[in-house]
Chains A and B, each alone.
Chain A
């Protein structure tokens, strides 16, 4: 299995700044998108931490053991889980630290309300269901890859997805025009 990142990881581990910049450009925006949905305002710190982990492991990275991107997302999810658990013990701080769902200025009011409701419903899911939904629906990853990232079996992932989808649908049932909208 050819890993397109393996060479850059090895180079970055040896101090090659250009290789590090390529890895950042390739992965940071996507990681940040998922992290935002998982931990809201702490996303940037979480991604910073993921990349620090990456640099310290880069010199010892062994291609072939695992796909680099899978490893990277797993580290990111673990970061997010840690932060969510820490947040659970600090409910007052958590309340002010949700994802910023301010829509772009050209978005209509209805659409922005709807996006806010969807984000709120997603935030209310248990962390692993939310991660499964984000990986498979938001990032459009296959079940096998998402299961590898989460470190679970494909069957377990499908179970998480089924429960997450059902809950999400129940919570968004009041959006009457939404289900039939095929735009």
Chain B
């Protein structure tokens, strides 16, 4: 520290002396024109809208990953579900089904180490 002020104050004062930079006329219009050019060149139509919607949905389901990841996960889950749904009824024995219908399931809610007579 010299002259009684800190380096921070010195820098503050120095930087404040710099003339303000004016935005040149037409600069913002040029930026907007570049935006118009971009907007015109970007893909439009129902296909682009569908893709954007899918993209947003994918971000909602699984944020931050490429679109194929949630699509692949969904497809895999669907395949497993369909596979199980079609295979499972044939895998179950008819006797097991009949047995389960005839014998209602009984639950013993009392712990085995408690005396049964009290009940």
Contact = CB atoms under 8 A, between A and B. Distances in A.
Interface of A: 12, 14-15, 17, 20-21, 24-25, 28-29, 32-33, 36-37, 44, 47-48, 51-52, 55-56, 59-60, 62, 99-104, 107, 111, 114-115, 118-119, 121-122, 133-134, 137-138, 161-162, 164-166, 168-169, 172-173, 178-181
Given A24-B31, A62-B63, A32 B21 contact: yes
B104 interface: no
A94 B14 CA distance: 24
Interface in B5-49: 5, 7-8, 10-15, 17-21, 23-24, 27-28, 30-32, 34-36, 38-39, 42, 44
Give the one of B13, B17, B31, B42 with max A CB within 10 A.
B31
A138 B32 contact: no
Contacts of B35: 12, 17, 20-21, 24, 51, 55
A42 to B, nearest CB: 13
Nearest to A101: B19
Given A51-B35, A62-B64, A180-B3, A168 B23 contact: no
A78 B2 CA distance: 35
A103 B19 contact: yes
Contacts of B52: 14, 59
A178 B42 contact: no
A25 B29 CA distance: 10
B interface SS class: helix
B54 to A, nearest CB: 13
A interface SS class: helix
Nearest to A165: B7
A169 B3 CA distance: 11
Nearest to A107: B19
A178 B27 contact: no
Give the one of A37, A118, A134, A164 with max B CB within 10 A.
A118
B17 A111 contact: yes
A104 B17 CA distance: 12
Contact of B28 (A15, A28, A99): A28
A181 B27 contact: no
B32 to A, nearest CB: 6
Contacts of A24: 28, 31-32, 35
